[in-house]
Structure 1
Amino acid sequence: MLKRGRQVAAQVALKVLDLLNRRRARTAPPRGTGTVRILLLHAYGMGGTIRTVLNLATYLAKEREVEIVSLVRTAEEPFFEMPPGVRVSFLDDRTLPRGPVAEFLSRRPSRLVPQEEKAYLSMSLLTDLRLVRYLRSLRGGVVIGTRPGFNLVMGLFAPPEVLTVGQEHVTFESHGPQLQAQIKRRYGRLDAFATLTETDLKHYTKALKPSRPKRLLRIPNAIPDLPGEVSTLEEKVVIGVGRIVWAKGFDRMVNAWKQVAEAHPDWVLRIYGSSTPEREEKLQARIDEAGLSGKVFLMGSTPQIGLELSKSSIYVVSSRYEGFGMTILEAMSKGLPVVSFDCPHGPREIITNGHDGLLIRSKKAAALANGICRLIEDEELRRTLGANALRTAAKYHLDVIGTEWETLLSDLDDRRTYPDCSLGTPA
């Protein structure tokens, strides 16, 4: 009975929203792309999505008014330097005290985002209301969503005069069935949707076949400008970068290093990335049990990863899956050859095996170790792959990828007729 009541309430709410959108469409100004707003979960945090969004904002701000809208704020200062000329605002600033109503709402779960959304626990009824209020306050421009939760809410609540662009920073297949179902139902209302890889573009093209966004395309991430020179490839250092989570497979990297350390005891492995205390302790225990203390170092996170890459000679990827593999390109931009498991989806679209890196088809740690040892022992191959890696990275320079975004926005500018305001059935 309660579920039926909620369904009826949702249907009524959608009908009211339909009427409001139709009324706004009659009096709203023409749609345009002069102002761009990018939705982020936590702009002051760290991670690949944040870094690439800041990169994109820097480029777009050359010709447009750009604002980064962070759903939450949990840190006093940003981990990365904020782009000059780009406004940053917060919908739920958790560094400030809340009133009793906001505190009450913040303890209630989100009603707009499925539990399978990886950011679900960071969202609440309070963030639902503030995000919807923010979207309804807009009077034109473009809104870019950077995760499924944002894309779904944009599809429902963005006013008709606002152009909506969704992004996928992981993969369609990595989302659970409930989230996939809502994606299929709602993404057709977006004006454009961009994936990072061709493989994921194929998956979305198939999944959204009944109702696709007006533009469905692939735009990879651009490489940010990183400090540090191109590596000399002379340091006896191998580096891995990423959050210490199961998907990144650092347990497999440590297992592989047992074999590498036996053959090349003068080489070391440095792992950079954020972690919870529990995960770091678990990985450190694996290192200690393997007798690799003094051989493998957990370095924590750093905003100056370019400097660390430039002091290394080989970059290793042990991931079980990758949405794209931004750190691969960052390593290549410093002339590092890459040894990577051929995991879905990004590495195989970036690395050409034997040209700018080595793709390891096997999932076994020993195979990864063999690839690392091959580059340690063959300096000529290491330098050849490193030189080619520089050329590969140049294809992902900000000026190159930024042009793709400019092309998309120009195309949306030419197709700025108002969409059908009908929202259909509730999710």
Structure 2
Amino acid sequence: MRFSGAVLCATLLWHLTVPEAAAQSERSAPAVQNAPTRAPADAVFDELERIDRERHRDLLGKVPDVTWADVLRDPDNLTLNVAYARAQLARGDLKSASATLERILLISPHEPQVELLQGLVLYRLREYGGAERALSAALAGKLSDDQRTQAERALSAIAEAQQQTRLTLTLGAGLRYDDNREQEPLGGSRLVLDTPVEADAEHGDTAVVSLARVRLSHELDNQDGDLVFGEATYYGADQLRDNNLDLQVFGANAGMTLYFGAFTLTPRVGADLVRLEDQNYLTALSGGARLDWQLLPDFAPFAEFRLADENFDDVSAAPSGEDRTGLRRSLAAGFQWQVLPRVSLAVTGERQVKEARRDYEGYHGYALRLTPLLVLDNGQFLRGDFTVRQRDYFGPDAFVSSETRGDTDYVAGISY
């Protein structure tokens, strides 16, 4: 069993859019055995995009408890009709809500609050022309400062959504602290020829983190909004104490996002380069696909398959790195749950098989990951990461022990 460390990461982001085990030898540095095949920054980029989506999710406001029977008892009550439209939105029935709001405007034209809500609903339905007209009409009337801000934000989002080709640049910088950066065994000892040898003491370390991504996407000429994309990423972690664990990850990938009603399919291919202490440690070619299903308005299951051909090199921090060369297959499934307008929870279970030149570097295993997210004001967020990972290796390392190794890792982290 190994406790991999509690990680605290504070990162600032700028987003611009332009038209394993107690039985372990000295052969491989523990902190680099699990080198990533995707840039660690990918998770941060994913959260930034999720924040952009959540920023518009709560534009429709709080939902009252109103039924159609209530409306029938007082059909000319404007406030009641608007409340009923909001109740339809809460059930995810956007089209019915739009029809209700349209009926209200036929009875009582030029109601800025109703036009505002209609514009927001049409925006969610991707009917951008009607949304622009409704929002512009609302802005010409009397709105509160908050309502005016909502309308302006929605118009800005519509203008961006209507761009077929988008170039997005994301930059970030921050600090990362890991209280067990070298991933020393929890028991305080390691095995050499089945003999316990005292391990190094656990040491925390701080890293200066930098990250960047350039993404180019183009929406295809169809009604579904399908798009193709390509992106390049960089992640760097400059350790303040252990310079031999300085990390650089370069990645590039391309793919498509295809929409089929409530389903979204995203196939992609990619290449990654991992460098340790300015030495090439890992090169990987990968491919895979992810399927998302918007089962409920606030609940979306997903499944993802990924295959990577990993080629490791011997470096000073991991002198037997080549032993880990081989294919890695993973199948993950889980769900994204919008618990509250600003609180979400992602749960992911993963099955992974790693082939390697040496049996003691190959394994099959499982992982469970919980990722809560709290969206704050002005694009800020708090993101937790709690992972339990079990790995059972294919064979023993005779230099370490005659018994086959097994790892249980616990990782906890929080990012701001």
TM range (shorter): under 0.3
Q: Report the TM-score when normalising by structure 2.
A: 0.24
**Higher strand proportion (structure 1 or 2):** 2
**Higher helix proportion (structure 1 or 2):** 1
Q: Report the TM-score when normalising by structure 1.
A: 0.23
